A = this chain, B = another copy of it.
Amino acid sequence: MARSGAATIVDVARLAGVSPAAVSKVIRGAYGVSPSMRERVEAAIEQLAYRPRVAARAMRGSTFSIGIELPHPGYHFFTTILQGATAALGHTRYQPIVVPTATEAERDGRALDLLADRQVDGIVAVSPLVSPDRLERLAARIPVVLLGRHDRTASYDTVTGDDVEGTRQVMKHLLGLGHRRIAYLVQEGQAAMPGIRTPQETRMEQYLEHMHRAGLGAAARVVRTVDGDVVPESAVEALLAPERPTAILVGRHELALEMLQAVTARGLDVSVAGYDDTCLAGHPAISLTCVDQDGVEMGAKAIRLLLERIGGRTEAAHLTVEPTLKARASTRPVR
């Protein structure tokens, strides 16, 4: 036994009367072990409660772990992706490890480096704000799947909600209800990253496009809010002052809930629609219309792509997940 008290592969080998190399083969299910040896080794492993150390394996072999980079664990949509991913990993030999990017400073991809330092076998990243060339460099060494990126590259795979279609649906819905003065609320910092097309940016562009096509280009109005959880009073005022829109489309779920609250609190008849669904959007007391992206599906697809890459696929894959509009009480016909 080593000093730490835990058994090593040598202890197992000694007890089973075989070489450490043989034990290694057994635990990896590698070729070239007789049933009798396997049996003895497995008994020894059991008896010593042996567990291979990930670090030692990583020195030469594989860590059998998938790194998931998750910004802002408090956002419901992101945890949905996480659920899908961990579920998809369930019956494989790979383990998920999550690195939360808590601070703003880490959003630049530092968290991805941390995962690379851990020599994970693949990375699922939800970071929309990392520069493409940084990702290129990373993907050259480790399989990487990006979620929600609209840039297509050969070096990493992507899984993206169809923001064009989602925006089309919700705009059609609002226009169909008779709305003409429709505003768009977007999170600052999400709409203007050079070289990166974030989902919120795409949605905003599509919003403008649809307004234009409906002959409402002059009525289009984009309000930006700071990067954070709350809609500042100034943005609310900007939107709800007289000459206000009759409907507001919001780029991110949490902000939509806030906006809806602000509208309700003022007793105004302004429709609000958002992106991403949660159980609370469906709560009768809230009933927020939104474009539902299937996060579980997205997480699962990301893992599938990653495992394919690890399995040897070299050409890039780009998957799209179709959103569905959940029309609820927060959007009403214009009076």
Chain A: residues with CB nearer than 8 A to chain B? Answer: 4-6, 51-56, 58-59, 63, 73-74, 76, 79-80, 82-83, 86-87, 90, 95-100, 102-103, 113-114, 116-119, 140-141, 229, 257, 261, 264-265, 279-280, 283-286
Contact = CB atoms under 8 A, between A and B. Distances in A.
Given A51-B117, A54-B119, A264-B285, A79 B74 contact: yes
Nearest to A282: B261
A54 B118 contact: yes
Given A283-B257, A283-B261, A285-B261, A73 B63 contact: no
Contacts of A261: 283-285
A55 B51 contact: no
A90 B100 CA distance: 11
25 contacts: A4-B141, A51-B113, A51-B117, A53-B58, A53-B117, A53-B119, A54-B55, A54-B118, A55-B59, A56-B59, A73-B73, A73-B79, A73-B82, A73-B98, A95-B99, A95-B114, A97-B97, A97-B98, A98-B99, A257-B280, A257-B283, A261-B283, A261-B284, A264-B285, A285-B285
Given A73-B73, A86-B100, 8 more contacts: A54-B119, A55-B118, A73-B83, A87-B102, A97-B97, A97-B99, A257-B283, A261-B283
B98 A86 contact: no
B74 A90 contact: no
Contacts of A96: 99-100
A4 B257 CA distance: 47
Contacts of A140: 5
A8 to B, nearest CB: 12
A264 B280 contact: no
Contact of A102 (B6, B54, B56, B83): B83
Contacts of A73: 73, 79, 82-83, 98
Contacts of A95: 99, 114
Contacts of A76: 74
A250 to B, nearest CB: 15
Contact of A74 (B83, B114, B116, B265): B83
A214 B103 CA distance: 48
Nearest to A59: B55
Contact of A285 (B79, B82, B286): B286
A127 to B, nearest CB: 15
Given A73-B73, A95-B114, A286-B283, A90 B63 contact: no
A284 B257 CA distance: 11
Contacts of A100: 82, 86, 96, 98
A86 B73 CA distance: 11
